[in-house]
Structure formats: structure tokens, C-alpha cells
């Protein structure tokens, strides 16, 4: 299942890309993330970097922890972040990734604007297929998080 959304922000492409390149910033705009922990790898942020997000609900399995690996970081092609754990909240997914693409806006007066496109692509494990309609109807949550991202970027 693929779900996506986009938003235009009043920051240039380079500023947006720089902000998104640091996983520690996720908790500043993603409503479902309370904190981000770097992985145990010595890889610096960028391709191959691993990190774990921690959800707000401490009663969730494994405190809503989800581990990710950055699979691609390219200012033109975008970035891709793959889900790598299979326990806690990640147990529902056979595979999952999210990606961002930042496109500079051209035209008069738009040098400091960028379009952010976010895509979430996942497949559910067979026993959790019943979640598909629920997740589909929650697709606007991506846009709500992008509004949070816009707010953080434009206030910086």
C-alpha cells in the first residue's frame, strides 16, 4: 500500500534537505515520535545510518520503538528510510519504507520555497491485513505531520 502527501514550505530546497538529513529532527514534527535514538553503528547520518524512533505511548509494545536504516540520500532523487525491525509496532509489516523528495520551486518570488513530497510504502503481514482499511483511512495523518514539518521549518 502506498500513501503519500506533499506540502510547500517557505524555505529553499537546501535548508529543507539539511533539516531532513538529521534524524534527530523527526521528533520535532512527527506527532507519533517522542524521541530518536541513534543506532549502535559508527556510520554517520546519511546512507547506512540506523536509528530508532520511540513513540509517545509507553504502554505500546516495546514502547512504540521502530528501527530504521537510511537507504538513500540524494538531494535530487530524495531520501529513503527502510524499517528494519520486526517487533513492537513494526510487527504488523512485512516490509515498509518512507521517502522524502524536496523540489525547489521556480518562478518569480519562489526562490525560497520548496515542495516536500512524502511517500509511505508498506505491505502488511497476512495476519494483519485487517489493518489495511484503517491505515488507508488514516492517510491524512501524513499531511498533518507535513504541516508540523512546515511549521518547524518556517519558525527556524
Kindly indicate the confidence band of residue 129, based on its pLDDT and cuts at 50, 70 and 90. very high
CA angle at residue 14 from 115 to 54, to 5 degrees? 75
pLDDT in tens, 17-76: 999 988 999 999 999 899 999 887 777 778 889 999 988 776 665 667 899 999 988 888
CB-CB contact of 88 with 63 (8 Å): yes
Q: What rounded mean pLDDT belongs to the chain?
A: 89
Q: What count of other Cβ atoms lies within 10 Å of the Cβ of residue 125?
A: 13
pLDDT in tens, 9-21: 999 999 999 999 8
Specify the pLDDT at position 103. Answer: 93
The interaxial angle of helices 140-155 and 13-20, nearest 10 deg, is 110
Percent of the chain whose predicted confidence (pLDDT) is above 70: 93
Amino acid at each position: 500500500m502506498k500513501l503519500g502527501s506533499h506540502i510547500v514550505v517557505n524555505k529553499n530546497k537546501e535548508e529543507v534537505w539539511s533539516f531532513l538529513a538529521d534524524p534527530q529532527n523527526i521528533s520535532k514534527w512527527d506527532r507519533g515520535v517522542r524521541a530518536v535514538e541513534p543506532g549502535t553503528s559508527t556510520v554517520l547520518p546519511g546512507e547506512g545510518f540506523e536509528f530508532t524512533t520511540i513513540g509517545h505511548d509507553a504502554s505500546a509494545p516495546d514502547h512504540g520503538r521502530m528501527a530504521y536504516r537510511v537507504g538513500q540520500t540524494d538531494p535530487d532523487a530524495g531520501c529513503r528510510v527502510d524499517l528494519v525491525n520486526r517487533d513492537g509496532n513494526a510487527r504488523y509489516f512485512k516490509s515498509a519504507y518512507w521517502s522524502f523528495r524536496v523540489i525547489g520551486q521556480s518562478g518569480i518570488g519562489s526562490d525560497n520555497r520548496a515542495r516536500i513530497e512524502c511517500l509511505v510504502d508498506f505491505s502488511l503481514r497476512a495476519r494483519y491485513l485487517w489493518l489495511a482499511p484503517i491505515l488507508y483511512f488514516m492517510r491524512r495523518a501524513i499531511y498533518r505531520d507535513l504541516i508540523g514539518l512546515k511549521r518547524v521549518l518556517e519558525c527556524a
